[in-house]
Amino acid sequence: MNSNLAYQEKVREELIGGKVVAMSPRPMYNHNHVAFNIAVIFNHYLRGKRCTAIPDGTDLYLTEGDRFVPDMMVVCDREKIQEDGVHGAPDLVVEVLSPSTAKRDRVDKKAVYERCGVREYWLVDPKNRTIEQYLLRDGKLELHTVHASYTDFELERMSEKEKAEIITHFKCSLYDDFDISLDEIFSGLLS
């Protein structure tokens, strides 16, 4: 038996603007690791609270022509969670950028998230160790800030003044008491 035929991988798909779009079938290690770290951080914080963290692999139904599979989402209205996925806008959506999906995440999906009322949207870039944090204001997802985590090599090249100005923690707009460490999100990545 041909080993290629014995192992056939199901290609994951999303529906964007009514068109079926194949997702990268096998995201790279750093992509998966960052998405996992974020889901664990939110899961730990949300334990016992009304909202829930939902990791990669769950379908998100937003419109008749838009079904996505975000890398992580937070849903506070548990009635939106059904057996086949989440129906309606989550409160927070996280997309981890891959070279093959970055344009869709930045343009197409962001526009749908905005129209559907997602309150906070993160674009996470594992390669550059950055998080773009967008907040919904007057119906528009506007860039709030860009958070960056630095490698030891980058830190060695900075002055003491530059190091002192580095922001290492930030807050999710949904919670006043949730302190998020950039180092926790980007820990364990391959160089």
pLDDT tens column, 42-95? 999 999 999 999 999 899 999 999 999 999 999 999 999 999 999 999 999 999
What are the residues facing 87 on neighbouring strands?
61
Cβ burial, residue 55 (10 Å; 0-12/13-18/19+): middle
Dihedral, CA atoms, 64, 141, 118, 52, nearest 10 degrees? 140
Q: What is the DSSP letter of 50?
A: S
Helices then strands, each counted (H, E), the chain: 7, 14
- 61 within a domain of the structure (yes/no): yes
pLDDT in tens, 126-165: 999 999 999 999 999 999 999 999 988 899 999 999 989 9
- 126 within a domain of the structure (yes/no): yes
The CA-CA-CA angle for residues 18, 22, 25, to 5°, reads: 155
Please give the radius of gyration of the chain, using alpha carbons only, rounded to the nearest integer: 18
pTM, two decimal places = 0.88
- 68 within a domain of the structure (yes/no): yes
Averaged confidence pLDDT in the chain? 90
Out of 9-13, 70-74, 167-171, 180-184, which region has the weakest mean confidence (pLDDT)? 9-13
**Distance between CA atoms of 71 and 40, rounded to whole angstroms?**
12
pLDDT at 6 exceeding the cut of 70: no
The residue segments making up the domain with residue 179 are 27-186
**Distance between CA atoms of 178 and 36, rounded to whole angstroms?**
18
Q: Span 94-113, mean pLDDT?
A: 92
pLDDT of residue 4: 46
- 19 within a domain of the structure (yes/no): no
CATH number at residue 175: 3.90.1570.10
Cβ–Cβ under 8 Å, residues 143 and 134: yes
- 1 within a domain of the structure (yes/no): no
**Distance between CA atoms of 102 and 97, rounded to whole angstroms?**
5
Q: How do beta strands 81-82 and 72-75 pair? A: unpaired
**Distance between CA atoms of 166 and 9, rounded to whole angstroms?**
43
- Count of domains in the chain? 1
